[in-house]
Amino acid sequence: MRASWWKILLILGCYLWGSLNLAFFAGTAMKGKDLRRIGSGNLGTENVYKNVNKSAGALVFFGDCLKGAAPILITRAAGVSLAIQAACALAVMAGHNWPFYLHFRGGRGLAVALTSTLILNPWGGLGLVAVLGVGALTSGHGAELALVGLALQPILAWGLHMPTSIIAFSLGTLLFTLLRRAQGSPQVARPQPRPAWHVTLRCRIHHDREVCG
């Protein structure tokens, strides 16, 4: 029983580490803006880039990448099992997506998922980088391609005969992304009358927006 407590505390610590939402702090500290209520409503790089400034957006992106990488690298250096490394990575993403002090509405965790995947499943991570690169060059389709890239991860992990913990991690990142997108950013102003709930849900999941044209 005693051996299990440190694992629980480690995973809880990773959640708390992940909940340090840099986009929220950048918006409030630099512009006095709550990014949950403007732009896309997402506490992530793109909303900071568009509604704070480009430099802050870059810092948030690299900070989120570091946030995802640090717990895995530290636990790996400490000789912790691969399964616990994967659990820590998911805990960080959960904290990023659902920080307790922001009413459980944070970012979408893409940067965290990207760096975690690059470390835990390098070939899958490189594939995700390629898909995201295409998304960055394809105006207006970044959210859709990001979802495709994450959906491919469990398939690639299985095809590459990765350990079960890595396949579970890949499924977890996809599930967390779908759940956070479905939750949406309802604080963002939407036109009246509002569309039917299933239209809003489809818009959130496919396009990661509250309103679709």
Residue keyed to tokens 């002090």 = 101
The domain of 141 spans 2-207
Question: Which is higher by pLDDT, 64 or 136?
Answer: 64
In a domain, 212, yes or no: no
In a domain, 213, yes or no: no
Q: Is 23 helix (H, G, I), strand (E, B) or coil?
A: helix
Q: How much is the average pLDDT of 105-122?
A: 94
In a domain, 64, yes or no: yes
Predicted confidence at residue 139, as pLDDT, reads 67
In a domain, 123, yes or no: yes
- 189's tokens: 């102003």
In a domain, 90, yes or no: yes
Number of domains in the chain: 1
The pTM of the full predicted model, rounded to 2 decimals, is 0.92
Structure confidence by residue, pLDDT tens digits, 163-209? 999 999 999 999 999 999 999 888 887 766 778 888 888 888 988 88
DSSP code for 194: P
In a domain, 101, yes or no: yes
Structure confidence by residue, pLDDT tens digits, 132-151? 888 877 766 788 899 999 99
Residue 10, pLDDT above cutoff 90: yes
DSSP 42-72: --SHHHHHHHT-HHHHHHHHHHHHHHHHHHH
Residues in the chain: 213
Predicted confidence at residue 32, as pLDDT, reads 85
Q: How much is the average pLDDT of 104-110?
A: 92
Structure confidence by residue, pLDDT tens digits, 115-136? 999 999 999 999 999 998 888 7
